[in-house]
Chain A
Amino acid sequence: MGIFDYFRQPRQKSASVAKERLQIIVARERAARSGPDYLPAMQQELLQVIRKYVQVDDEAVQMNVDREGDCEVLELNITLPDDQD
């Protein structure tokens, strides 16, 4: 670091932005491909069922398969919209 750098505004380096973005997208893509093959179809069908009752957007249903020892756990997260009574 040179002497003139001390007077500059510190800002986030581009490499750390790249790293953060990569960590998020890579984790997401790994989760998607490590799950069972039926997961995307099941997610779509669940979305349709939920929409019979509540209007939610495409991102509202999140599914995740985790392994805990010998047990596989299917985690299902449904985010309801804020303006529900």
Chain B
Amino acid sequence: MARIVVITSGKGGVGKTTTSAAIATGLAQRGHKTVVIDFDVGLRNLDLIMGCERRVVYDFVNVINGDANLKQALIRDKRVDNLYILPASQTRDKDALSQDGVERVLNELSGDFDFIVCDSPAGIERGALMAAYFADEAIVVTNPEVSSVRDSDRILGILASKTRKVEQGGEPIEGKLLLTRYSAERAERGEMLSIEDVGEILAIELLGVIPESQAVLNASNAGQPVVLDEESDAGQAYQDAVDRFLGEERPLRFVDVPKKGFFGRLFKG
């Protein structure tokens, strides 16, 4: 039985797809057979971030509708063993993701994989609800910024009530917080919500902090999950987050401002 993990946030543009690609790749690198599914029907993008956009033949909705089988639709990653991508459809039909259909596909994948990573679309519409509904665990991607934090709290409410686990009388899913685009300097100057601020408001376990980093755009430009850029701060921070997700202890990195010398402190504007 696979563990189903939803990567969600409510707000768009905070790094869900970047995170889905990074976490899925990190899990596969550690030997877990992993599939990452793009639930953003109509606005397919995971394929671009994973660098496999030209290899898409069939998609998630094709499989749901029986136009293709999973074997035909799954794209095997060429860089990392054990990693597969199921791309989203570009159909504009909002009802394409039927609950029965999604369940059938997840059940089929579940026998074959260790992890199923669901890349949720933004918002709280059907695609987002479907991505969350079958999840066992959730990673809530949040920027240290008011609208993102508020939307994350909305999503936590949905995770606590509208999932299969809860409907079957199980425990509600407690999302784990992944704080992205964090700038230690700005937080120290009081211009950005700090890790503690966001943690206090959302009151969930902290999975990791990803610093604002040039490496993320470089990675998406190249179609390489940023976690593969092991020299970069963001890549290393994602590797730490994957380790913590698997239950290891890792200290937070890239969250402190480098200490300045005497003159640096004296003349800081």
| Residues B201 and A2 in contact, CB atoms below 8 Å apart | no
- B157 close to A30 (CB less than 8 A): yes
* Least CB separation from A32: chain B residue: B157
User: Looking at the complex, which one of B190, B201, B267 makes contact with A23 (CB distance below 8 Å)?
Assistant: B201
What chain A residues lie within 8 Å of B191 (beta carbons)? 13-15
- Tell me whether A67 is interfacial, beta carbon within 8 Å: no
Please tell me if the beta carbons of A22 and B146 are within 8 angstroms of each other in the complex: yes
Q: Which of B195-221 contact A (CB under 8 A)?
A: 197, 200-201
Selected contact of A14 from candidates B149, B150, B190, B267, CB within 8 Å: B190
Q: Report the count of interface residues on A (CB-CB < 8 A).
A: 19
Q: Which of B190, B194, B200 has the most CB of A within 10 A?
A: B190
List chain A residues, Cβ under 8 A from B258: none
Would you call the interface of chain B mostly helix, strand, loop, or mixed? helix
B56 at the interface (CB under 8 A from A): no
By a CB distance below 8 angstroms, the chain A residues around B200 are 19
In the complex, B137 has a CB within 8 A of chain A: no
A25 within 8 A of B: yes
Q: Is A84 an interface residue (CB 8 A)?
A: no
User: B228 at the A/B interface (Cβ < 8 Å)?
Assistant: no
Q: With A26-B150, A26-B201, A29-B154 given, is the CB distance from A15 to B190 under 8 Å?
A: yes
Contact: A30 with B153, CB < 8 Å?
yes
Is the C-beta of A7 less than 8 angstroms from some C-beta in chain B? Answer: no
Known contacts A15-B190, A30-B157, A4 near B197 by CB under 8 Å: no
CB contacts (< 8 Å) of A2 on chain B: these are 265-269
Q: Convert B132-164 into 0s and 1s, putting 1 for each residue whose CB lies closer than 8 angstroms to a CB of A.
A: 000000000000011001100110010000000
Whether B52 sits at the interface, judged by CB under 8 Å, is: no
Count the B residues whose beta carbon is within 8 Å of the partner chain — how many?
Answer: 22
- CB of A14, distance to nearest CB on chain B (Å): 6
Indicate if the CB atoms of A19 and B265 lie closer than 8 Å. Answer: no
Instruction: Indicate which residue in B145, B150, B194, B197 contacts A25 across the interface (CB closer than 8 Å).
Output: B150
- Look across to chain B and name the residue whose beta carbon is closest to the beta carbon of A19: B197
Closest-CB distance, A13 to chain B (whole angstroms): 3
Minimal Cβ-Cβ distance residue in B for A12: B190
Shortest Cβ gap from A43 to chain B (Å): 19
Partner of B149, one of A3, A5, A13, A22: A22
In the complex the two chains form, what is the Cα distance from A22 to B194 in whole Å?
A: 13
- Please report the C-alpha to C-alpha distance between residue A16 and residue B194 in the assembled complex, in whole angstroms: 9
Q: How far does the alpha carbon of A33 sit from the alpha carbon of B155 in the complex, in Å?
A: 12
Shortest Cβ gap from A2 to chain B (Å)? 4
Closest Cβ–Cβ distance, residue A52 to chain B (whole Å):
35
Our pick among B146, B157, B189, B269 for the contact of A18 (Cβ within 8 Å) is: B146
Q: What separation, in Å, do the CA atoms of A29 and B124 have in the docked complex?
A: 15
Complex Cα gap A22–B202 (Å): 10
Write out the residue numbers on chain A whose beta carbons fall within 8 Å of the beta carbon of B265.
1-2
Interface residues of B (CB under 8 A from A): 145-146, 149-150, 153-154, 157, 187, 189-194, 197, 200-201, 265-269
| Partner-B contacts on A (CB < 8 A) | 1-5, 13-16, 18-19, 21-23, 25-26, 29-30, 33
Across the A-B interface, the 8 shortest Cβ-Cβ residue pairs: A13-B190, A2-B268, A19-B197, A15-B190, A26-B153, A18-B146, A33-B157, A22-B201
